[in-house]
Amino acid sequence: MPKSVLPSEVSALRPKQSPSDTNSSVDYDDKVPANTIRAWVIGMTWTTIGSAINMLFSLRNPSIYLTPVVTLLLSYPTGVAWAAVMPTRRFKTFGITWSLNPGPFNMKEHAVIVIMANASFGGSTAYSTDVLLAQEVYYKQKFGWGYQLLLTITCQMLGLGLAGLTRTWLVEPAAMIWPSNLVTTTLFETIHTKTAPDAVKTSGWTMGRYKWFLIVMSPNNVVVNQLFGGISGLSLIPITFDWSTLTAFIYSPLVYPFHAIANTVVGLVVFVIITSIGIHYTGALYSEYLPMSTSGSFDNTGHPYNVSMILNDDYTLNDEKYKAYSPLFLSTTFGLTYGLSFATIAALVVHTGLFNGKQIWRQFRASREEGADVHMRMMLKYRDAPAWWYGASFVVMFALGLVTCLVWDTHLTWWGFIVALLISLFFYLPIGIVQATTNVQLGLNVITEFIVGYMLPGRPLAMMMFKMYGYITVYQGLYFTQDLKLAHYMKVPQRTIFWAMFIATLWSCFVQIAVYNWALGNFDGVCTPEQPDRYTCPGAQVFFTASVIWGLIGPDRVYGTNGIYHCMEYFFILGAGLPVLVYFLARRYPRSIIRFINTPVVFGGTGNIPPATVMIYASWAFVGTMFNKVI
């Protein structure tokens, strides 16, 4: 892989060439239609199916997700069948010529369908549904369908404006490769060109069936369960090839470059395994009285934290009740995860400044034509989606977001909403650059919790809203950016892609809220540990626990000078210092393995633990290494 794609290279990234020039489709035919009725009907159908399925099964543990790859594979025979069956007659309406069957099903139509799927359910489900579950199930506060829809629409669509306005830095440069898109373009090429496999390259390999059953003979041994247990232990034995489990909290290992997997494994071993074991078995942070790894919160008797014991009637903290009840305690890995999140944010800012600062400044000064790669030169032949479209989208969603915060009693002030969006604006480019080069997205969930905990203490509902807007605007926005890069590779007109993303995402919000309300009204015991079909809402439980830590009790009582977890704030220093060390070592030894170290990924790559486990990450890393490095 050329030097230009390595995120930790000290030399400036070269804009003239990139792996995308050789690894992605460069076919160009401006007569091949992309904006067709066929693409819209199939795309919207899969938007509906994927959004509904993912919303329903996101409530289950383990969760099952439908990915856009499924849409890619299944929409092809649908498109081919459409081309074979539907009439080819052409119609003219308002001066526009159109047909139900414009010809053979082509790659550009296929790309539009997949982009609609990725924009609507590529990130599994709307993050707002976790806010709604925490409000309605745990806090018993219901605002109705209007609030649900506005919250979800603004949550999912604020990022569209940022995606369009940052194309100059995250889409157009050749070095911003977006690794998962390389896999997608390869699939498009394979499906549509029908090239037979090379028997020499595959060496006649086939996949055999592998079965390995391990029986632990000490089911009641506490240490064995702490180290190897999959429910509340570290789950150290990585023996699963169940794809749904493997990708339940992390996306497919096949789309991550090996250097990203290696950095994640370093963080997994050093911090999650070694550090967690050290903390737990030395008795630090009262960990000997708590589970090794779980997303729940506990009181001083080891029971689940009863938030109703410290609430006022208006859902704010009652300080006297809190002092009479108990401080909040976390499992070993959960407490450590917050420390690693502090380090991730600090490392992200320092790492981006050191390794990518010159590139960002160069893009600010460069014109679009300067240093354009083959894809960019081809895309210039199409009419661009003007920046004001994206700007207008952002302004409309900003206004609707203010309405959502202020019309209902969310406790989030107008200026709090603006601060949340300013955080998103500040971190959008650094996080986007890391994701574009490693396929790892680093979350702002913890830093937004930390800030709002000091800014609006004792307001859990405001904290959840602030976190959602501060974090998910970047998270969802980068899915839109990824789609824009895929359109860049596939030569799909930018105006078509804007409307495909906008309409598909908007429709998916209505679908998800409909399924959400149906599930809560038809499943008995939903979001409780005893739910017979395991619809226990694992994501909402993490969200609720976070709202108690950061919003209700507040970071000062948990991480402040007198807090139980005050030592975790030292991770800010570690996160800021390590990238500097790596930078100077990489300059001193430019050909060594040090140049591949990406400190934000080392700290933040394992951010889904808990509820994810070491077993899931280790299995994910094994599969990714085998297919992306060994084979």
Q: Are 413 and 439 contacting, i.e. CB atoms less than 8 angstroms apart? A: no
Cα–Cα distance, 455 to 435 (Å, whole number): 29
How far does CA 222 lie from the centroid of its chain?
34
Take residue 605 and report the two structure tokens written for it. Answer: 């790559």
pLDDT of residue 374: 67
Give the per-residue SS3 of 558-611: HHCCCCCCHHHHHHHHHHHHHHHHHHHHHHHCCCCHHHHCCHHHHHHCCCCCCC
Q: Are 42 and 77 contacting, i.e. CB atoms less than 8 angstroms apart? A: no
pLDDT of residue 8: 38
Take residue 77 and report the two structure tokens written for it. Answer: 């025979």
Sequence-distant (≥ 6) Cβ neighbours of residue 98 within 8 angstroms: 36, 37, 90, 91, 92
CB atoms closer than 10 angstroms to residue 365: 7
Give me the residues paired with residue 90 across strands.
99
Among residues 508, 72, 47, 75, the alpha carbon closest in space to that of 252 is found at 72
Among residues 112, 90, 93, the alpha carbon closest in space to that of 101 is found at 90
Q: How many residues does the chain have?
A: 631
DSSP string covering 62-96, please? S-----HHHHHHHHHHHHHHHHHHS---EEEETTE
Phi and psi (nearest 5°) for 139?
Answer: -95, -5
Q: Are 486 and 114 contacting, i.e. CB atoms less than 8 angstroms apart? A: yes
How far does CA 596 lie from the centroid of its chain?
23
- pTM beyond 0.95: no
CB-based burial label for 418 (10 Å; 0-12, 13-18, 19+): middle
Take residue 401 and report the two structure tokens written for it. Answer: 């977001």
Cα–Cα distance, 72 to 65 (Å, whole number): 15
The residue type at 314: D
Q: Are 114 and 71 contacting, i.e. CB atoms less than 8 angstroms apart? A: yes
- Residue 139, Ramachandran bin (φ over 0: left; ψ between -120 and 50: alpha; else beta): alpha
Take residue 64 and report the two structure tokens written for it. Answer: 């099952």
Q: Are 120 and 504 contacting, i.e. CB atoms less than 8 angstroms apart? A: yes
Give the C-alpha distances (Å, rounded to integers) separating 215 from 212, 237, 616.
Answer: 10, 12, 19
Give the C-alpha distances (Å, rounded to integers) separating 136 from 130, 142, 309, 461, 575.
Answer: 10, 5, 18, 11, 37
97: helix, coil or strand? strand
Segments of the chain with pLDDT less than 50: 1-24, 200, 202-203, 206-216, 367-370
23: helix, coil or strand? helix
DSSP letter at 304? B
What is the per-residue pLDDT across 12-54, written as a single tens digit (0 to 9) for each? 333 344 444 444 455 556 678 889 999 999 999 999 999 999 9
Q: Are 222 and 598 contacting, i.e. CB atoms less than 8 angstroms apart? A: no
Cα–Cα distance, 216 to 193 (Å, whole number): 50
Cα–Cα distance, 367 to 362 (Å, whole number): 10
